[in-house]
Amino acid sequence: MRRHAPGTTSHARGVSLLEFLVVLAIMALIAALVLPTFGAGVSSSELRSSARQLAAGLRAARSEAVSQRRETFLVLDLEGRRFKVDRDPREHALPPRIDMKLFTAQRDIVDAKTGAIRFFPDGGSNGGRITVASGERKFDVDVDWLTGRVAILE
């Protein structure tokens, strides 16, 4: 330990309480600005679940078309992020933070926000693709026009 001669002052090395509080305030401000950008996305499992819900709805529509021997639609509301099978009164909602796109036959597009995929009594379809996405992640739900087979592609 070092001793000082009487009458001399020693300079304390360290951080004052005021400096410490300023650094904490700056860190809190940065955290408040940055953290919300990480929490706003859709999880991969939520996105995959949405693709599976759509695939299940498409398969139900195909099944109904074959068993009832009539054309059946899966109607998709892109803006409301929901869909329903033709004569089924239930609407199935998807998470509000996902982006959806529909590629289908021109005659089955009602407007820019609504469209459908049609299934025929023989099991075939007009074909199409529904894309659910969030940022860079996406899943494509494809419907084969010849067989009506539904597949989820990453």
Domains and CATH numbers, the chain: 44-153 (3.55.40.10)
Q: What is the mean pLDDT of residues 111-125?
A: 94
Residue 110, strand partner residues = none
Model pLDDT, residue 3: 62
Among 40, 48, 37, 45, smallest CA distance to 153 is for 48
Residue 107 structure tokens: 């005659």
Higher pLDDT, 141 or 112: 141
* Residues 6 or more apart whose Cβ sits within 8 Å of residue 78: 100, 101, 102, 112, 113, 114, 115
Confidence of residue 110 (pLDDT cuts 50, 70, 90): confident
Model pLDDT, residue 4: 59
Confidence of residue 139 (pLDDT cuts 50, 70, 90): very high
Confidence of residue 85 (pLDDT cuts 50, 70, 90): very high
- In this prediction, what percent of the chain has a pLDDT beyond 90? 60
The answer to whether 47 and 64 are in contact (CB under 8 A) is no
Confidence of residue 12 (pLDDT cuts 50, 70, 90): low
The answer to whether 101 and 49 are in contact (CB under 8 A) is no
Asked if residue 149 has pLDDT above 60, the reply is yes
Predicted model pTM = 0.72
